[in-house]
Amino acid sequence: MSDFSATTCVRAAVGTDQSYGAVIPPLHLSTNFTFKGLGDRRKYDYTRSGNPTRDILGETLAELEEGHGAIVTSSGMAALTALVHLVDADQLILAPHDCYGGTFRLLTALHKQGRARVLFLDQGDHRAFENAFTSGSEKVGLVLVETPSNPLLRVVDIAAISAICRRHGALLAVDNTFLSPALQRPLTLGADLVVHSTTKYLNGHSDVVGGAVIAKTAELSERLTWWANCLGITGAPFDSFLTLRGVRTLSARIRLHEENAAAVAQLLSDHPAVAKVYYPGLASHPGHALARSQQQGFGGIISFELNAGIAGVHAFLEGLTCFSLAESLGGVESLVAHPASMTHASMAAEAQARAGITPQLLRLSIGIEATKDLICDVRLGLDRVHALRSQPRSDIDSVSRAATY
């Protein structure tokens, strides 16, 4: 596998401007482009179908993911929408039972309307996975993998699943949002397609909602481009410009995210207020060895369960100074989310329980602030939770019962 190229990130289309020699390629906001004459079209005609600024971002992402081509979309959900259009309505889509809540909602809604056939399963369970291919009468058209998964950081063996997909003629798509191509390149492990919410690490500054799908082959790339234009889900030029600016610093940012995450994960695993830590960088994580072999790092997202009821969750959150309570992840600033009531609220309670999302679960997106400040903030938060535990049990339970999720 070739190395991730920080140089590609930094130098994407630098110095290519033909008009003024601008170092950074200019932003083309125009919705339309003149024809040279009747029937004599230039490279671009209409921005929904193609735009020079957006194309630079698409080409850069394709290069970083080692794919043939990419579409840039208006959101990660738009990218997933394009993806499901590659499959005929009577073909089965296999998806993780613990994927991002919005993905779960989209696929469930399409399934209910009869627009797609979707089966959610635990993709760590290889037997269930093989069965899904062989037991039913429906042909599996697409397998969607999210690794590490949101929010429980389950690590899925991309090469093993790719081998099963090949045997059965199904496409394999990997949502690589949590790691970015800096830390994982699924196409080199056998995937056919990579999906991103570029809202996260690729943009990295919490100021653009965007997405992308990168295809391994020219044929898949052409089909995606056709669908993105047909559905009208291509990304805006200004968003592409900002995202490319974010991509230029991806390599430097991701190292800091990871350094900070490793320190916070260690603190969490040593603290008595914490019941469980989900971070593939910890040797105790069940996916650690696999993550080590298929990833180039462990990333900046950590989930953990507090050793306390909902009162503990309140105690942890109220008083944090370096973490904002907000959805999303992958920005330079640290965030904390409560998946059960925020990012995964669209999943029914039973689906949350099946996926392992409990009311005590919190997800941290570790930013690039000074390590000592993050550590101090998390330690104080955990100490507040621990102090609660020395209160009479009935107090804690009564708050827990009062909470509505």
Tell me: does residue 209 bind ligand PLP (CB under 6 A). Answer: yes
Does 36 participate in catalysis according to the annotation?
no
Q: Is residue 214 involved in binding ligand PLP (CB under 6 A)?
A: no
Residue 293 CB coordination number (10 Å): 11
Q: Which is nearer to ligand PLP, 312 or 330 (CB)?
A: 330
CA atoms within 13 A on the CB side of 35: 5
Mark 284-313 with x for binding to ligand PLP (rule: CB under 6 A) and - for no binding: ------------------------------
**Looking at beta carbons only, is 102 or 141 nearer to ligand PLP?**
102
CB of 243 to ligand PLP, least distance (A): 11
Q: Does 173 bind ligand PLP (CB under 6 A)?
A: no
φ, ψ for residue 220 (rounded to 5)? Answer: -65, -40
Residue 103 or 240 having the CB closest to ligand PLP: 103
For residue 175, indicate whether it is catalytic: yes
Nearest-CB residue for ligand PLP: 76
| Annotated active-site residue in 154, 185, 200, 216 | 200
**209 phi and psi, to 5 degrees?**
-100, 125
Can you tell me the distance from the alpha carbon of 189 to that of 127, in angstroms, rounded to the nearest whole number?
A: 21
- Binders of ligand PLP among residues 318 to 347 (CB under 6 A) are 328
* Residue keyed to tokens 């939770």: 385
**Is 175 among the residues that bind ligand PLP (CB under 6 A)?**
yes
- Compute the distance between CA of residue 63 and CA of residue 42 in angstroms, rounded to an integer: 25
Instruction: Work out whether 203 is an interface residue with ligand PLP (CB under 6 A).
Output: no
Task: Judge whether 294 and 189 are in contact, CB under 8 Å.
Answer: yes
Count the alpha carbons within 13 Å of 271 in the hemisphere toward its beta carbon.
27
234 part of the interface to ligand PLP, by CB under 6 A? no
**R_g (Cα) of the chain, nearest Å:** 22
Span from 3-11, 75-83, 108-116, 281-289 in contact with ligand PLP (CB under 6 A): 75-83
Do the Cβ atoms of 142 and 86 come closer than 8 Å? yes
Looking at the Cβ atoms of 85 and 271, the one nearer to ligand PLP is 85
3-class DSSP state of 210: coil
Helix axes 310-317, 371-389, angle to 10 degrees: 150
Alpha-carbon distance of 92 to 87, in angstroms, equals 8
42 is catalytic: no
The catalytic residue among 55, 98, 157, 175 is: 175
Query: Which residue's CB is nearer to ligand PLP, number 175 or number 305?
Result: 175
Q: Tokens for 179?
A: 């790691």
Minimum CB distance to ligand PLP, residue 199 (Å): 4
Within a 10 A sphere around the Cβ of 259, how many other Cβ atoms?
Answer: 14
Task: State the number of binding residues for ligand PLP (CB under 6 A).
Answer: 15
Site of interaction with ligand PLP (CB under 6 A): 75-77, 100, 102-103, 146, 150, 175, 177, 197, 199, 209, 211, 328
Which residue numbers are catalytic?
48, 100, 175, 200
